[in-house]
Structure 1
Amino acid sequence: MSISNAIVIGAGIGGLSVAAALAKRGIAVTLVEKAAEITDIGAGLQISPNGLAVLQALGLEAKLTERAAVRGQAVVLQDYKVGRQVARIDLLRGSADRPYYFVHRADLIDTLYDAARRNNVSIELGAEVVAVTPGSPARLRLANGSLRRAELIVDASGLHSKTRLLLNPDSVGQFAGQVAWRAVIANEISHPKEAHVTMGPGRHLVSYPLRAGRLINLVAVEERAAWAPEGWSIADDPANLRAAFSSFGGRAGDMINAVDRCTLWGLHLHPVADVWHENGVVLLGDAAHPTLPFLAQGANLALEDAWVLAKLVDTLPADQALRKYQSARHARVSRVIKTAAGNAKRYHLHPGVVRSAAHLGLRVASTVAPGTMISAFNWLYLHDVTAARNA
């Protein structure tokens, strides 16, 4: 291996997965997290086959299913008025050994946390990083004044990463003109094992079951001119969500009316970082490439990053490994982010000729050639960073 020790910043999906992947290869890893405890935060997320490949390589799929992950059967696009189906993408047509899962974020965090501990990762909670300095060795300073050194520092602290700004001082996000409400409700409508995208004028609702179908995850997105802060844990009044989606009928309307607690998240567009690394310091996940949530790939990209980075630093000199990591990932994440941004426009079409034609085309394709619907995502879902050809 090219390094013997590393520090990872952030106990999110990217941080825990890269810590486990590095430690599994014999590297001594310390993970620092500013939160005082790992708590049951967040809501649902979707683990598609490309992300699952990494979890399988880490030996964690069984642990995830033990925590009641739901195997997704389809993605269904439907109209907002009464929930009429527009198109159905059959997720069971994909690779049988790489299912698609709907997972509570807290359950995935717990699974990765346990894996990191089993691989002897030293985890320090309540350890806030205030500065990172590239060098040989790289250094970081904690809020309590203590200094740490390591051959490699991986910043997986998310889109507000201080290291991202250090390496890319001109990288500034801008409000995307959209907000997203997030909520979890009891599954009292027998929601099938499908992700439903209910499309309306200037807005859409995503819903899917969690925890063996006992819960439903909701993400409701609305176009809006007024700026909103970027933070997915900001509480909001459910009455605002209901007012914004008052025109939604059928099951979508029932689910929105059932919300008693929600958060509001201002969506912001961030460029993929131009610089991901410098002299022993490297970015991972949202710290390098934040994405809008319209392709459900944020967690999956972080998992891919973690495997690629761990593999490269295990087999190449550190400086060469970091260069190859960025070059190997940049085009991939850029394509995913661009596709995600485009989905919002397709979901939010207003009544008229364009919307009617688009929905008709989807309906015909879904009925006449259903296999083409899922095969259009082969570039995304069948990408396997753990395969020998991609190692």
Structure 2
Amino acid sequence: MSKRIAIIGAGIGGLTLAIDLQRKGLDVQIYEQTPVLEEVGAAVALSANATRFYQDRFGMAEQLGEKWAEVDGLVFRDGRTGEQIARLSSREEYRRRYGAPYVGIHRADLQGILFGALDAQSLHLSKRLTGLDDSGSAARLTFADGDEAEADLVIGADGAKSLTRRLLLGYDDARYSGCTAARGIVAPELLPSLPDPEAIQFWMGQGGHLLHYPIGNGDQNFFLVKREAVPWAEKGWVVPAKDGQHIEPFAHWAPAVVEMISAVPVHEQWALFYRPPLTHWSQGRVTLLGDAAHATVPHHGQGANQSIEDAIVLSDLLFESTDWDRARTEYEQRRRFRTRKVVDASVTVGEMLHLPDGPRSQERNARLSSPGAFDRHLHWIHSFKADEQIPETSVVAA
């Protein structure tokens, strides 16, 4: 009997892994807690370290190209004046350097295309994991509807609030970053003041920033981040927002900012949490992938990208080895240092974006606008080829 793989969660990472494993002939079943396949959140930015696999390995460039917007550079602005501080790369330069595009795409569009490449019979909806027993001859999964399943390998790809991780650790280790966010999607005709609509842009200022980028239909996906003065006291990570409360702290910012964040209703406030790095994220027949293993704040836009990198590495190792215990160990070794660095850098970027006026923000602006800024700060992320990396032996004993 062939080995059975169970993936918990049908997000971007789980679907990417399942597609690649199924193409290699492995028996994969996906268990998703929602009754319909949908993504929380509006859109996602994918950089070359992820899009290269959809383009080259999966052959989805044409199909995805109809749904995504290839961004034209990365722009940093002063949030209050709108002054351009730096423009890094261009669409053509980026493709030439990295061999794949930097894009914005609606999560539902991406997930729909991935689902279309999946064996539909392998996706099981309304399966909320409630228990995991790895003491027998196979791992036994129990679900809220009373169903059970067995697998020789369980992969927790169930996101930042991962139950699989909590079952492995025995506790919830989420850390509040000190920031909250509002998000929305705005039609271009509602943004007459917006400069550089085809770029990814950061509008920076004391205590907050606005990030936005285009998606396939020309709309702008925005993510407005505010640094809070007090700890998060709510029970959930997402809470209802009062009408217009997200606008007040930014009402004095540049007209294009106010225009964008005022264009559509915002009904929710998102607390931004991340997970501390783990030395090991496998136990017995269970391992973690994506946000379940290394959830980060979105200031580098790498959450989905790192889950795709994870999926490629784990898929290749499982296919190449009959010793899955050894494959899981090598998977952690290859991914531990990389993901830890991304999490740390993402938290640090939030601090950098929110500097008050003064010498430190002037130094930041000078660094961003100086020659070679992209290479110094971002090349290590975008140039990474997950399928060509060797284990980071320097962190095995961490």
TM-score, shorter chain, exceeding 0.5:
yes
Measured in 1, the distance between the counterparts of 2:23 and 2:236 equals 32
Offset at residue 139 of structure 1 (A): 1.5
Offset at residue 229 of structure 1 (A): 4.6
Q: What's the counterpart of residue 357 of structure 1?
A: 363
Offset at residue 374 of structure 1 (A): 4.3
Measured in 1, the distance between the counterparts of 2:277 and 2:121 equals 29
Offset at residue 54 of structure 1 (A): 2.2
Q: What's the counterpart of residue 348 of structure 1?
A: 354
Measured in 2, the distance between the counterparts of 1:245 and 1:228 equals 23
Offset at residue 302 of structure 1 (A): 0.4
Report the TM-score, using the length of structure 2 for normalisation. 0.90
Offset at residue 381 of structure 1 (A): 0.7
Letter of the structure 2 residue corresponding to residue 142 of structure 1: F
Cα 1:325/1:178, change in 2 over 3 Å? same
Measured in 1, the distance between the counterparts of 2:176 and 2:237 equals 14
Which of 268, 284, 288 is equivalent to 1:283?
A: 288
Is there any run of 5+ residues in structure 2 with no aligned partner, and where? 392-398
Offset at residue 33 of structure 1 (A): 0.8
Measured in 1, the distance between the counterparts of 2:324 and 2:298 equals 32
Q: Provide the secondary structure at the position in 1 that maps to 2:280.
A: coil
Is 1:319 aligned to residue 321 of structure 2?
Answer: no
Measured in 1, the distance between the counterparts of 2:121 and 2:19 equals 7
Q: What's the counterpart of residue 109 of structure 2?
A: 107
Contact 1:42 1:106 in 2 (8 A): no
Is there any run of 5+ residues in structure 1 with no aligned partner, and where? none
Offset at residue 175 of structure 1 (A): 1.8
Contact 1:90 1:374 in 2 (8 A): no
1:244-255 superposed matches below 5 A: 244-255=249-260
Is 1:183 aligned to residue 184 of structure 2?
Answer: yes
Q: Provide the secondary structure at the position in 1 that maps to 2:386.
A: coil
Measured in 2, the distance between the counterparts of 1:167 and 1:332 equals 22
Cα 1:168/1:15, change in 2 over 3 Å? same
Contact 1:183 1:262 in 2 (8 A): no
Greater relative contact order structure (CA < 8 Å, 6+ sep): 1
Q: What's the counterpart of residue 298 of structure 1?
A: 303
Q: What's the counterpart of residue 224 of structure 2?
A: 220
Identical columns (%): 30
Offset at residue 375 of structure 1 (A): 5.7
Q: What's the counterpart of residue 143 of structure 2?
A: 142
Q: Provide the secondary structure at the position in 1 that maps to 2:140.
A: strand
Q: What's the counterpart of residue 396 of structure 2?
A: none
Is 1:264 aligned to residue 269 of structure 2?
Answer: yes
Offset at residue 372 of structure 1 (A): 4.0
Q: What's the counterpart of residue 336 of structure 1?
A: 342
Measured in 2, the distance between the counterparts of 1:336 and 1:230 equals 27
Measured in 2, the distance between the counterparts of 1:232 and 1:11 equals 20
Deviations 1:75-126 (A, max 9, x none): 1000012211011111432343311011111111111111113xx6511111
Letter of the structure 2 residue corresponding to residue 66 of structure 1: E
Measured in 1, the distance between the counterparts of 2:172 and 2:125 equals 29
Measured in 2, the distance between the counterparts of 1:63 and 1:80 equals 36
Deviates more, 1:243-252 or 1:379-388: 379-388
Q: What's the counterpart of residue 196 of structure 1?
A: 201
Contact 2:66 2:216 in 1 (8 A): no
Cα 1:121/1:87, change in 2 over 3 Å? farther
Q: What's the counterpart of residue 308 of structure 1?
A: 313
Measured in 2, the distance between the counterparts of 1:7 and 1:358 equals 46
Measured in 2, the distance between the counterparts of 1:268 and 1:336 equals 15
Offset at residue 72 of structure 1 (A): 0.9
Cα 1:361/1:151, change in 2 over 3 Å? closer
1:47-62 superposed matches below 5 A: 47-56=46-55, 57-62=57-62
Measured in 2, the distance between the counterparts of 1:230 and 1:331 equals 32
1:79-94 superposed matches below 5 A: 79-92=78-91, 93-94=93-94
Offset at residue 377 of structure 1 (A): 1.9
Measured in 2, the distance between the counterparts of 1:230 and 1:112 equals 33
Deviates more, 1:56-65 or 1:200-209: 56-65
Contact 2:2 2:27 in 1 (8 A): no
Measured in 2, the distance between the counterparts of 1:76 and 1:238 equals 29
Measured in 1, the distance between the counterparts of 2:375 and 2:70 equals 16
Offset at residue 379 of structure 1 (A): 1.4
Report the TM-score, using the length of structure 1 for normalisation. 0.91
Cα 1:234/1:3, change in 2 over 3 Å? farther
